Amino acid sequence: MLTTSPRGTQDILPGQSYKFQYVEDTFRDLCRRFGYQEIRTPVFEHTELFQRGVGEATDIVQKEMYTFSDRSNRSLTLKAEGTAPAARAFVEHNMQALTQPIKLFYITPVFRYERPQAGRYRQHEQCGVELFGTLSPQGDAEVIILADSFYRQLGLSHYELFINSVGCPTCRATHGEALRQALGEVLTDLCTDCRARYDRNPMRILDCKNERCQELTVNAPTVRAHLCPECEGHYAQVKQTLSDSSISYKENPRLVRGLDYYTHTAFEFISTGIGAQSAIGGGGRYNGLIETVGGQPTPGVGFGLGVERILLAIEMEGVKIPEPQPLDVFVAALGATASQAGFSLVQKLRRAGLSAEKDLLDRSLKAQLKFAGKLNAKRVIILGEDELTRGIAAVKDMASGEQQEIALADLEQALRK
């Protein structure tokens, strides 16, 4: 037990971590271009934030939170998603007093007690954005376009965007009534979760993964059919803006998402070919959330994208992630004095901005050269007593095999070329 990580978690070793870094760097760069600035919220929050923000009736709050009491008996919960914490920070730091809109991005671990399988973990990483303070359908379109640009930039193309409108509290109330009426007769045949949803949030019955529930609700009314004119208008404009921006999408009237805060637009990106856990990202508008967590009414829209699933999609599509930069120079030293001089030289080269390494295990020259090959060094500097007295070093270019003598004083400059 001591030598295995907890179920559903994984160690990201150097052979993988550069891939995470690549995805994160791509996301950071794109957020910069779209004008989003980074927010870092704590890894744990007051449990109530998720209960109120995400919703008591959701699977996340009912079954998946990592909740614990601290030594002062406060109930805390590991970050179960990124939106409620960002909304809490918006209120706490009085961001409504700043020039709107507020555009935030985050790269964060998320913790959910789910049954682990390929693409589903108990700790996963999300790249997300939250755009606060605008009701404009262009806001919805902007975040969708950002997510789409991100996947494209990573080289992905085997995915689809599904969108829907889940309406506002007004249309949701009419829809809820219609749904209760339509499902009243089959209520006892629905799963326990859906029976609970029937009273608390009937719309979420449409999202049930249970096959029997899906069969029973196949003809159930969708929110789409009950949208009020304002929601209908907003949805039409979002679709128009996406089409004008050449973003392909499919409408899915049953897409309601698993978090209670959504209003109006809901969307999901589905990868075709990474198995059952195919949602590589999802999001939507949440115009009531800031108020729910104690702020002035402020609209919001955003998304969260699962980095592990994106990496699975990258692998499945055969996209190549650039390998880490090779080592600029390896200093191979012969003898104790040269080893000390080599150690100083490595520090000097590193200070000059080059990546430099030397042997730390007293290897033979032959073994040092083999090690340099393993490290994929572009050049090897060979330093012996003789070279030291002459004030030079033998520099070998590993690609061409060419070797030349360079004065120690000129090394830095020569290596920069």
| Closest distance to ligand HAM from the beta carbon of 212 (Å) | 24
Q: Which is nearer to ligand HAM, 124 or 358 (CB)?
A: 124
CB within 8 Å of 203: residues ≥ 6 apart = 166, 172, 175, 176, 179, 223, 256
Using the rule CB under 6 A, which residue among 79, 88, 112, 172 binds ligand HAM? 112
Q: Which is nearer to ligand HAM, 159 or 330 (CB)?
A: 159
Distances (CA, A) of 185 to 172, 173, 215, 351, 393: 21, 20, 14, 75, 87
> Closest residue (Cβ) to ligand HAM?
306
| Closest distance to ligand HAM from the beta carbon of 54 (Å) | 8
Distances (CA, A) of 273 to 56, 154, 210, 304: 33, 17, 21, 20
User: Among candidates 388, 362, 400, which has minimal Cα distance to 411?
Assistant: 388
Does residue 120 contact residue 287 with C-beta atoms inside 8 Å?
Answer: no
| Closest distance to ligand HAM from the beta carbon of 161 (Å) | 12
Q: Which is nearer to ligand HAM, 202 or 304 (CB)?
A: 304
Place of tokens 């080269």: 349
Q: Which is nearer to ligand HAM, 40 or 370 (CB)?
A: 40
The tokens describing 35, both together, are 């004008």
Does residue 143 contact residue 131 with C-beta atoms inside 8 Å?
Answer: yes
| Closest distance to ligand HAM from the beta carbon of 98 (Å) | 20
CA distance 384 to 225: 81
Q: Is 99 exposed, middle or buried (0-12, 13-18, 19+ CB in 10 A)?
A: exposed
Q: Can residue 124 be called a binding residue for ligand HAM (CB under 6 A)?
A: yes
Q: Can residue 280 be called a binding residue for ligand HAM (CB under 6 A)?
A: yes
Using the rule CB under 6 A, which residue among 279, 327, 382, 383 binds ligand HAM? 279
User: Among candidates 225, 238, 237, which has minimal Cα distance to 171?
Assistant: 225
| Closest distance to ligand HAM from the beta carbon of 303 (Å) | 5
Does residue 262 contact residue 58 with C-beta atoms inside 8 Å?
Answer: no
Q: Can residue 224 be called a binding residue for ligand HAM (CB under 6 A)?
A: no
| Closest distance to ligand HAM from the beta carbon of 183 (Å) | 25
Query: 384-391: long-range contacts at Cβ-Cβ below 8 A with a sequence spacing of 24 or more?
Result: 384/333, 384/334, 384/335, 384/338, 385/334, 385/335, 385/337, 385/338, 387/338, 388/337, 388/338, 388/341
Q: Which is nearer to ligand HAM, 202 or 306 (CB)?
A: 306
CA distance 312 to 303: 19
Q: Which is nearer to ligand HAM, 114 or 232 (CB)?
A: 114
Q: Which is nearer to ligand HAM, 156 or 398 (CB)?
A: 156
| Closest distance to ligand HAM from the beta carbon of 168 (Å) | 16
| Closest distance to ligand HAM from the beta carbon of 157 (Å) | 17
Q: Which is nearer to ligand HAM, 81 or 193 (CB)?
A: 81
| Closest distance to ligand HAM from the beta carbon of 65 (Å) | 12
- Which amino acid would we find at residue 407? A
Q: Hey, is 332 helix, strand or coil? A: strand
Using the rule CB under 6 A, which residue among 27, 36, 121, 159 binds ligand HAM? 121
Site string for ligand HAM, 231-270 (x = CB under 6 A): ---------------------------xx-----------
Binders of ligand HAM among 281-340, rule CB under 6 A?
281-284, 302-306, 308-309
CA distance 412 to 404: 14
| Closest distance to ligand HAM from the beta carbon of 79 (Å) | 10
| Closest distance to ligand HAM from the beta carbon of 45 (Å) | 13
State the sign of the Cα–Cα–Cα–Cα dihedral 150, 151, 152, 155. Answer: positive
Give the total of residues touching ligand HAM (CB under 6 A): 27
Using the rule CB under 6 A, which residue among 77, 83, 164, 298 binds ligand HAM? 83
**H-type helices in 123-206, by residue range?**
137-154, 169-183, 192-200
Using the rule CB under 6 A, which residue among 55, 85, 128, 295 binds ligand HAM? 128
Using the rule CB under 6 A, which residue among 19, 89, 130, 371 binds ligand HAM? 130
Task: Tell me how many helices (H) and strands (E) the chain has.
Answer: 15, 16
Q: Which is nearer to ligand HAM, 107 or 305 (CB)?
A: 305
User: Among candidates 282, 254, 256, which has minimal Cα distance to 269?
Assistant: 282
Which residues lie near ligand HAM (CB under 6 A)?
81-83, 112, 114, 119-121, 124, 126, 128, 130, 258-259, 279-284, 302-306, 308-309
